[in-house]
Chains A and B, each alone.
Chain A
């Protein structure tokens, strides 16, 4: 199936080469590693993962997909947000071995192939919805997930309880703020992020983009 197999337990591409000496003691014992297949941005990867390795570190260390950021490593900032089987999650808290067979979409794969940006990426640019950029991939992936959740009728803390179950939730500013509160931005781009998501959600409603969730 064309997947590449490599050993993530001793460093991956950034730590693997270079001819550095690497004895048998470089990784954990065999019973503490497992072959794990992840489909990342449409491409299958089979890796022998150290059970301790979280998805975020697989992406950054093994697959050189460094768009997913490590802001806290404890699920407290959202910079590592990716889509797992279409749903946004903190990749820093997901043990890679437990995701065997999952489909992962990162910021690098959000737009699919080609030069065209995802509508959220375009909107973030247009609205100047970032400064340092470190939280940005997580914000965008989170927004993609949030848009799918709202479309699927998932309520939020600020959703009117009277809204009938299962009906898509319109993403007004209050909804966007609440739903993106799992993504910290220390530069304070929040108001512009809200506008960017509104722009993209508006496009979504017009049918110009496809939902990410299945």
Chain B
């Protein structure tokens, strides 16, 4: 790790200015992923702009009933927040399914969205990786890729996004608030992360210097039954092999509202728009759920060693939808 400068920002504007003033700047939140990657040499900032103490540490209800989560709210606090637990249980569950108690105490909402892939080739400077060093190739494509993508990957990159939280946000129709030199803007959480295409080095649509200031959870999915489930190699403290976040409102036996997103399958949380379309208006039955999920997963292109992810994702999704339907009916 090269030595670097450090600036502690006290306001969003100051942070953006400090970032803009220094090429090679990085925002520091909880640091749980950034410091890890700096130690590996994957991230090599010239200066860190510490945004962890910005006054963005509140979860507040907005006048329209939506919930605004500040970017520096810690993952553990967000998961424990009564309004989140009561109205957006999938988000609380997703957070609690990720990492460890210690990491959740340090990691921030903004940082969680910006965490980078756990692909071992990305983390190892002695190996090719188009995401880390464009043009060097992909070690995983023919290498060890049991954990890699089955949806939306490109010849350039087959990495998956590791966040649990982001999967729930995608299903919940959350919006990511950004601040940059052109002022503030909002991006749907489901569109915040990119597919790799020819530019796997870009994880998200964030512009240079833009700062995540918060996440807004809309009223439309608040108080609607939702849940998150993940499958992993050990019972805790492991990344998802596959996961699903689902939002489901059933009315008179029919699906009135559906949100579905997968984790562990793609370069970004995979918002299952096709499945949602198939679900809404249809019966809230296991058969209908299976058909809808199959419609989504028909696009899957498994690699040599990860074909298991397709039936796994299917089973997870059908299970979670079925449980939500049952709970909604009860």
Taken residue by residue from 85 to 114, chain B's Cβ proximity to chain A (1 for < 8 Å, 0 otherwise) reads as 110010011001101111101100000000
How many angstroms from the CA of A179 to the CA of B80 in the assembled complex? Answer: 14
How many angstroms from the CA of A74 to the CA of B40 in the assembled complex? Answer: 9
9-residue interface stretch from A12-20, A89-97, A110-118: A89-97
Does any Cβ of B come within 8 Å of A46's Cβ?
no
Taken residue by residue from 28 to 41, chain B's Cβ proximity to chain A (1 for < 8 Å, 0 otherwise) reads as 10011001101110
- Chain B residues within an 8 Å CB radius of A178: 235-236
Report the nearest B residue to A29, measured CB to CB: B3
How many angstroms from the CA of A139 to the CA of B5 in the assembled complex? Answer: 34
How many angstroms from the CA of A145 to the CA of B6 in the assembled complex? Answer: 29
Taken residue by residue from 115 to 157, chain A's Cβ proximity to chain B (1 for < 8 Å, 0 otherwise) reads as 0000000000000000000000000001001100100111111
**Contact for B100 among A78, A87, A155, A159, CB less than 8 A:** A78
Verify B101–A51 contact, CB threshold 8 A: no
Verify B32–A31 contact, CB threshold 8 A: no
How many angstroms from the CA of A71 to the CA of B125 in the assembled complex? Answer: 22
Interface size class of B (residues with CB under 8 A): 35 or more
Shortest Cβ distance from residue B286 to the other chain A in the assembled complex, whole angstroms: 22
Does any Cβ of B come within 8 Å of A173's Cβ?
no
Does any Cβ of A come within 8 Å of B325's Cβ?
no
Does any Cβ of A come within 8 Å of B221's Cβ?
no
Does any Cβ of A come within 8 Å of B1's Cβ?
yes
Does any Cβ of A come within 8 Å of B253's Cβ?
no
Whether A93 touches B101, Cβ cut-off 8 Å, given contacts A29-B3, A165-B86, A181-B235, is no
Report the nearest B residue to A86, measured CB to CB: B105
Whether A95 touches B35, Cβ cut-off 8 Å, given contacts A32-B5, A153-B80, A155-B96, is yes
Verify A51–B6 contact, CB threshold 8 A: yes
Shortest Cβ distance from residue B3 to the other chain A in the assembled complex, whole angstroms: 3
Does any Cβ of B come within 8 Å of A81's Cβ?
yes
Shortest Cβ distance from residue B35 to the other chain A in the assembled complex, whole angstroms: 5
Closest 6 CB pairs between A and B? Answer: A182-B100, A28-B3, A181-B236, A165-B82, A32-B3, A154-B80
Binding site for A on B (CB under 8 A): 1, 3-6, 8, 28, 31-32, 35-36, 38-40, 48, 50, 52, 76, 79-82, 85-86, 89, 92-93, 96-97, 99-103, 105-106, 235-237
Binding site for B on A (CB under 8 A): 28-29, 31-32, 34, 50-52, 54, 73-75, 78, 81, 87-90, 93-95, 97-98, 100, 142, 145-146, 149, 152-157, 159, 161, 165-166, 177-183
Query: Can you list 28 A-B pairs, Cβ within 8 angstroms, ordered by A?
Result: A32-B3, A51-B3, A74-B36, A78-B100, A87-B76, A87-B105, A88-B102, A88-B105, A93-B106, A94-B35, A94-B106, A95-B6, A98-B52, A145-B102, A154-B76, A154-B79, A154-B80, A155-B79, A155-B80, A155-B96, A156-B101, A157-B93, A161-B85, A165-B80, A165-B82, A165-B85, A177-B235, A181-B236
